[in-house]
Structure 1
Amino acid sequence: MKSYKGYLIDLDGTMYRGKEKIPAAKRFIERLQEKNIPFLFVTNNSTQEPQAVVNNLAHNFDIHVTTDNVYTTALATADYLASLDKTKRSVYAIGEFGLKKALFDNGFYFAEKKPDYVVVGLDYDVTYHKFELATLAIKEGAKFIGTNADTNLPNERGLVPGAGSIIALVECATQQKATYIGKPESIIMKKALNKLGLEKGDVIMVGDNYMTDIAAGINFGIDTLLVYTGVSTPEQVKEKETKPTHVVDSLDEWTLGND
């Protein structure tokens, strides 16, 4: 078994299922910590700050990490924009506090008219007026960024609209496609790898969803580990032309190469 120097890891479905604990996930993270193997939770959630993710893992799942272990699509979006043009710093954002704080912390300021960028993510209080401002700004030349393409989110009521559904409305209104940052796109993977400071051949992407987690790893050209504790099933994966590098039923089955 290859020994990987770093891990990129999904959250929901991999570390927990909604509000349900996955005991093997806690043991997996503790094994990584014992061996000082660096890891990042790579999540398409743009609404929360990393500290909120840390608190959720600790309080609800007894998994204890730091904010240095969390890389959200909000952070990836801000990092991506910051790398484009240092002279362009105005942005209009549809999104929650996590996204806006990430942009602010990267030196961006918010403008409703003639911004350099329009960033659209999940916003629980989205309004027609926000869509109107985003549409007009993009029509006037702002670069259009979408945090992630997830059309739905699972919660206790069922599958509710996700960021991708909000972004799709702006795409329809502007007749322009957004540049997407989150999984399965490579942008978030590249930024996460930069944060780890490792090479592609040194890391592996771990997740439960072939269409986001595993596809992100495949698109980026790194090894993948699919764990059957969440979305994807063996029957679904059997139909895929490109298979995950590794599959396990539980993270307890996975050895770190020097276990």
Structure 2
Amino acid sequence: MKAITNDIKNKKLFLLDIDGTVSFDATPIEGALDFLAEVRNLGGKYVFITNNSTKSIEDYIIKFTKMGIPVDDSSFLTSTTATATFLKQRYDEQLLYVLGTKSFVNELRKYGLKVTEEANDSLKSSIVAAVVGFDSELNYTKIENICELLQTTNIDYFATNPDLSCPVSYGYIPDCGAICNLLKEAVKREPVYLGKPNNLMVDMACEESGYSKEETIVIGDRLYTDIACGINAGVDTAVVFTGEAKYEDLKSTAFPPTYYCDSIKDLYIALRD
């Protein structure tokens, strides 16, 4: 674990978290645009790997284009992508109950998954698993529905990501992990998380890009998701302190990064010099 150096010039595939690492809401963090331009100048590739399941890849393309960042379909891997890939392999043609945004539900359906947001008696016996995402459209009816399912049936239980909070311009809001902790207090069950720190997104990015794990680095602002994900995948990592993680956290973390730096601007300087 050391401060960022120009060793990262040897990297070709840069896997970046979004919220708290590259931007806050729709505002790029200082140095982000320069860093991404330098990656392109050096012939590398950046892919954004995010646990935020509220937006589809189409949503992200629109958002990043407005921020002035060149992107296409290959520029994003989300916890929705990882979750949908896993569920398709395991539950193809079987009915899944989903707690999440309309965008999340629609994205799962695009993968050919059979999903419902209803938990009435006529459907309950056919549901084989419950899936929870970061839900900015959460209401108490959704909470009651999934609580009933998880206590009156023996269905499997998954969630997109364990993040407790999501950084926004004014601070933080509850993320998927916080929603699942709320449910845990009622139903005494915990989900299997399919996004970061699961290594699935890193493995998918390497396979799709053709870059080796030695050429890959994960960059993020959370030790227990972003950095743990990189460690689980066997790639180098860099933590930035513009989001949740702080320098003092490095003293006690179970997920020490390869590198640390104040912000993505420091990564740009390391690439440039």
Same fold (TM over 0.5): yes
Cα deviation for residue 15 of structure 1 reads 1.3
Cα deviation for residue 23 of structure 1 reads 3.9
Alignment-derived partner of residue 96 in structure 1 = 101
On the 8 A contact 1:227/1:251 being kept in 2, the answer is no
Cα deviation for residue 239 of structure 1 reads 3.6
Alignment-derived partner of residue 76 in structure 1 = 82
Query: Could you give the per-residue CA deviations for residues 107-139 of structure 1, whole angstroms, max 9, x where no partner exists?
Result: 111243231221111223333332333234334
Secondary structure of the 2:271 match is coil
| Residue number among 132, 139, 150 corresponding to 2:144 in the alignment | 132
Distance (Å, rounded) in 1 between the aligned partners of 2:128 and 2:71: 36
Cα deviation for residue 194 of structure 1 reads 3.7
1:119 and 2:119 are equivalent in the alignment = no
Q: What's the % identity of the aligned pairs?
A: 29
On the 8 A contact 2:19/2:166 being kept in 1, the answer is no
Distance (Å, rounded) in 1 between the aligned partners of 2:246 and 2:30: 20
Distance (Å, rounded) in 1 between the aligned partners of 2:101 and 2:59: 13
Structure 1 stretch 239-248 or stretch 108-117: which is displaced more? Answer: 239-248
Alignment-derived partner of residue 220 in structure 1 = 233
The alpha-carbon distance between structure 1 residues 93 and 56, as it changes in their structure 2 partners (threshold 3 A), is: same
On the 8 A contact 2:223/2:255 being kept in 1, the answer is no
The alpha-carbon distance between structure 1 residues 55 and 82, as it changes in their structure 2 partners (threshold 3 A), is: same
Secondary structure of the 1:14 match is coil
Query: Which one-letter code corresponds to 1:131 in the other structure?
Result: I
Distance (Å, rounded) in 1 between the aligned partners of 2:42 and 2:268: 16
The alpha-carbon distance between structure 1 residues 156 and 17, as it changes in their structure 2 partners (threshold 3 A), is: closer
Query: Which one-letter code corresponds to 1:80 in the other structure?
Result: F
On the 8 A contact 1:48/1:99 being kept in 2, the answer is yes
Q: Which has the higher contact order (CA 8 A, sep 6+)?
A: 2
Distance (Å, rounded) in 2 between the aligned partners of 1:242 and 1:169: 25
Q: Which runs of 5+ in 2 are unaligned?
A: 1-6
Structure 1 stretch 43-52 or stretch 97-106: which is displaced more? Answer: 97-106
Distance (Å, rounded) in 1 between the aligned partners of 2:98 and 2:52: 15
1:107 and 2:123 are equivalent in the alignment = no
Cα deviation for residue 41 of structure 1 reads 0.2
Distance (Å, rounded) in 2 between the aligned partners of 1:70 and 1:35: 20
On the 8 A contact 1:39/1:196 being kept in 2, the answer is no
- CA RMSD between the two structures: 2.5
Query: Which one-letter code corresponds to 1:48 in the other structure?
Result: K
Cα deviation for residue 20 of structure 1 reads 4.1
Query: Which one-letter code corresponds to 1:39 in the other structure?
Result: Y
1:30 and 2:73 are equivalent in the alignment = no
Alignment-derived partner of residue 28 in structure 2 = 21
Aligned residue pair count: 255
Secondary structure of the 1:160 match is strand
